[in-house]
Amino acid sequence: MATRKKSPGKTKYGKTARKTVASAMRRKKRGTLKSGRGGKGGGTVKSRKQAIAIGLSEARRKGAKIPRKKSSS
């Protein structure tokens, strides 16, 4: 069975989003990525999934092209 390639132009995330997530991953690796907005709380991020979620959240705040979050209902 032949494997299908993604059709061009069907990118899930925009370029800005990819850059922001990549930045978050680098900060996780360095140990400087924190969960939480500010203040004394919010420890260092341990999981890869959490780092990606933080990166996407930051990209959303910047106004990047990202699909909506799935609702929990």
Q: How far apart are CA 28 and CA 44, in angstroms?
A: 8
> Can you give the pLDDT at residue 6?
59
* The model's pTM: 0.71
Q: What is the pLDDT of residues 13-54, one digit of tens each?
A: 888 899 999 999 999 999 999 887 766 767 888 899 999 999
Q: Where are the domains of the chain?
A: 15-62
